[in-house]
Amino acid sequence: MSLYQGVFKRDVHIAFKQKAELLQPLMFLLMVVTMFPLGVSPSPDTLQRIGPGVLWIAAILSSLMAMERMFRDDFQDGTMEQYVLSGMSLAGISAVKVCVHWLVSFIPMLVLSPLLAMFLNLTFDMYVALIATLLLGTPLLSLIGAIAVGLTVGLQKGGVLLALLLIPVFIPLLIFATSAVDSAALQLPYYPQLAIITAMLLLALAIAPFAIAYSLRVSQN
Amino acid sequence: MLKACELTCVKRDRVLFEDVSLAVNAGELLYVRGPNGAGKTSLLRILTGLSTPESGAVLFNGEDIADSSFSYLSTLLYLGHKSGTNGSLSAIDNLTFWLAQHQVNCEESQLFDALMRVGLVGLEDIPVRFLSAGQQRRVALARLWLKPADIWILDEPFTALDVKGIALLEERMKSHVERGGVVITTSHQPLSEAAGPHSVFDLEYRI
């Protein structure tokens, strides 16, 4: 177990050494959300109606920016080869790496979200629903994203391909997440949507580490 | 100790080599030679188990490495083209982490001793990306003094090293072989006499 703690500590340490890479997706998120009142309409009603969708789309796009970082450095500098040869479980290492990625890229986003909710004139109920969907949905983004990163990490320019692979996969999550926030706006219960997102998350938690390990092995071959 | 049976490697629909067999016993240094693109790196990666061959098998003490991977990995040390060190961590951090992952118990004094041998004294706290290419290679090579592995598979270990570094590494390979270890290495410059007696394995470039 302490082996995996070592991987965790090292990854957190490296993430905080590369502060620019941590901040860029957050700034991107902030700027995309800021553009909507300017570009679409600054009327509070319109913003409230499009708000949940805007926030979730911006969150998905900004997460794509940070996604590649998960395995890129380790793959390019040969650390991944040494992981494979260390005899540790690659699925375990993948799970730890996804966890670190979620902590360093999505927790700051959650912290920033009250500000964004204010920008888009979300009500308190909508905000609570938004936080709930982000808490359940963003780990799903990390887990599924990691599979695609594992597959594309061996390619030279995997960035755009990664977005093309992942955006269609994230559409169901987007639909249920925004529908939950919309229900909250109408004071309707939104547990069904949350339950479906949770189900997707649990399934991904069970399967993704092994799929990531496999995709990393394929890239290594 | 290590035996490869009729290995075939295909990369992007091109057969790199076919039915390659080789055997290395304890106390042998095998020098794999061949032009660019002949498949030296692919052969070494198959021998470590990082890649799987199209057909054929690699046997360690008579067992397929795909089956008995842990006992094989614990006695293997592979250094590839990529150094396996993270640029934003220092040499000490990189090596400490690597040793922990490979479950090697090592005291700090041993670590400093290895860094002294590869000539990195005073540079151990600097992030590796600020070191020169040769010094980065030396950080990776310090592992040869740290992990008690019998089988060394070194892919182009001399890249970026200066004359002294090459002599140091050849001497290290020689003493490892004399203690009964196995070294399999590739290089574009011939091994000098300092590396001790060695057998040569030629890979030909196929079209």
- The predicted-structure confidence for A73-110, as pLDDT tens digits, reads as follows 899 999 999 999 988 899 999 999 999 999 999 999 99
Answer yes or no: is B136 within a domain: yes
Q: How far is A221 from chain B (nearest CA, A)?
A: 5
Contacts of B100 in chain A (CB under 8 A): 2-3, 6
Q: Please indicate whether, in this complex, the C-beta atoms of B83 and A6 are within 8 angstroms of each other.
A: no
The domain of B144 spans: 27-35+64-198
Where is mean pLDDT largest: A133-142, A212-221, B115-124? A133-142
pLDDT for A13 beyond 80: yes
Q: Please indicate whether, in this complex, the C-beta atoms of A86 and B102 are within 8 angstroms of each other.
A: yes
In this structure, are residues A125 and A176 in contact, taking their beta carbons and an 8 Å threshold?
Answer: no
Answer yes or no: is B17 within a domain: no
Q: Please indicate whether, in this complex, the C-beta atoms of B103 and A76 are within 8 angstroms of each other.
A: no
Query: What is the mean predicted confidence (pLDDT) over A166-170?
Result: 94
pLDDT for A157 beyond 80: no
**Amino acid A132: pLDDT:** 95
The model's pLDDT over A42-53, given as tens digits with 9 standing for 90+, comes to: 899 999 999 999
Q: How far is A15 from chain B (nearest CA, A)?
A: 10
Among chain B residues, the shortest Cα distance to A10 is held by B97
Answer yes or no: is B93 within a domain: yes
Answer yes or no: is B172 within a domain: yes
Confidence of residue A117 (pLDDT cuts 50, 70, 90): very high
Interface test with A, best of B82, B92, B96, B128 (most A CBs within 10 A): B82
- pLDDT, chain A, mean: 92
Answer yes or no: is B100 within a domain: yes
State how far the Cα of B70 lies from the Cα of B76, in Å rounded to an integer.
Answer: 10
Counting the structural domains of chain B, the total is 1
Residues 52-91 of A with CB under 8 A from B: 73-74, 76-79, 81-88
Which residue, A201, A198, A193, A195, is CA-closest to A177? A193
Which member of B78, B82, B88 has the closest CB to residue A85? Answer: B78
**What does the block give as tokens for A20?**
């620019």
CA A215-A10-B42 angle, to 5 degrees, is 40
Interface test with B, best of A82, A86, A217 (most B CBs within 10 A): A82
Answer yes or no: is B192 within a domain: yes
Which residue, A140, A136, A162, is CA-closest to A71? A162
Q: Is A12 on the interface with B (CB under 8 A)?
A: no
Which residue, A134, A144, A147, is CA-closest to A197? A134
The model's pLDDT over B135-185, given as tens digits with 9 standing for 90+, comes to: 999 999 999 999 999 999 999 999 889 999 999 999 999 999 999 999 999
CA distances from B159 to A218, B103, B126, B154, B201 (A): 27, 28, 22, 11, 20
Which member of A6, A76, A221 has the closest CB to residue B100? Answer: A6
In this structure, are residues B29 and B170 in contact, taking their beta carbons and an 8 Å threshold?
Answer: no
CB-count exposure of residue B30 (10 Å: 0-12, 13-18, 19+): buried
B163 Cβ partners below 8 Å, 6+ apart? none
**Amino acid A2: pLDDT:** 83
**Amino acid B162: pLDDT:** 92
Q: What percent of chain B has pLDDT over 90?
A: 59
Contacts of A10 in chain B (CB under 8 A): 86, 89, 93, 97
In this structure, are residues B183 and B160 in contact, taking their beta carbons and an 8 Å threshold?
Answer: no
Answer yes or no: is B142 within a domain: yes
The model carries a pTM of 0.90
Q: B204: alpha, beta or left, given left = phi > 0 and alpha = psi -120 to 50? A: beta
Q: Please indicate whether, in this complex, the C-beta atoms of B103 and A78 are within 8 angstroms of each other.
A: no
The two beta strands, B28-33 and B199-202, are parallel
**Amino acid B171: pLDDT:** 93
Q: Is A182 on the interface with B (CB under 8 A)?
A: no
**Amino acid A106: pLDDT:** 92
Domain ranges of chain A: 2-220
Q: What percent of chain A has pLDDT over 90?
A: 77
Answer yes or no: is B58 within a domain: no
Q: What is the DSSP letter of B38?
A: S
**What does the block give as tokens for A120?**
């888009």
Contacts of B51 in chain A (CB under 8 A): 220-221
Which member of B69, B70, B84 has the closest CB to residue A79? Answer: B84
Inter-chain Cβ pairs, chain A and chain B, closer than 8 A:
74
Q: How far is B26 from chain A (nearest CA, A)?
A: 21
Query: What is the mean predicted confidence (pLDDT) over A28-49?
Result: 92
**Amino acid B207: pLDDT:** 75
Confidence of residue B24 (pLDDT cuts 50, 70, 90): very high
Which member of A7, A14, A76 has the closest CB to residue B89? Answer: A14
Q: What is the DSSP letter of B145?
A: G
Find the helix or strand (DSSP H, E) in which A199 lies: helix A191-220
For residue A171, report the phi and psi dihedrals to the nearest 5 degrees.
Answer: -60, -45
Q: Please indicate whether, in this complex, the C-beta atoms of A3 and B80 are within 8 angstroms of each other.
A: no
Q: Please indicate whether, in this complex, the C-beta atoms of B101 and A81 are within 8 angstroms of each other.
A: no
State how far the Cα of B120 lies from the Cα of B129, in Å rounded to an integer.
Answer: 14
Which member of A10, A76, A87 has the closest CB to residue B73? Answer: A87
Find the helix or strand (DSSP H, E) in which B12 lies: none
**What does the block give as tokens for A81?**
């080869």
CA distances from B119 to A206, B35, B114, B135, B163 (A): 47, 31, 9, 8, 13
State how far the Cα of A144 lies from the Cα of A206, in Å rounded to an integer.
Answer: 12
In this structure, are residues A40 and A113 in contact, taking their beta carbons and an 8 Å threshold?
Answer: no
For residue B37, report the phi and psi dihedrals to the nearest 5 degrees.
Answer: 85, 5
CATH number of the domain encompassing residue B132: 3.40.50.300
Which member of B70, B86, B101 has the closest CB to residue A3? Answer: B101
Question: What are the helix (H) ranges across A40-89?
Answer: 44-67, 69-76, 79-85
Which member of A2, A77, A221 has the closest CB to residue B83? Answer: A77
Find the helix or strand (DSSP H, E) in which B204 lies: none
The two beta strands, B76-79 and B151-154, are parallel
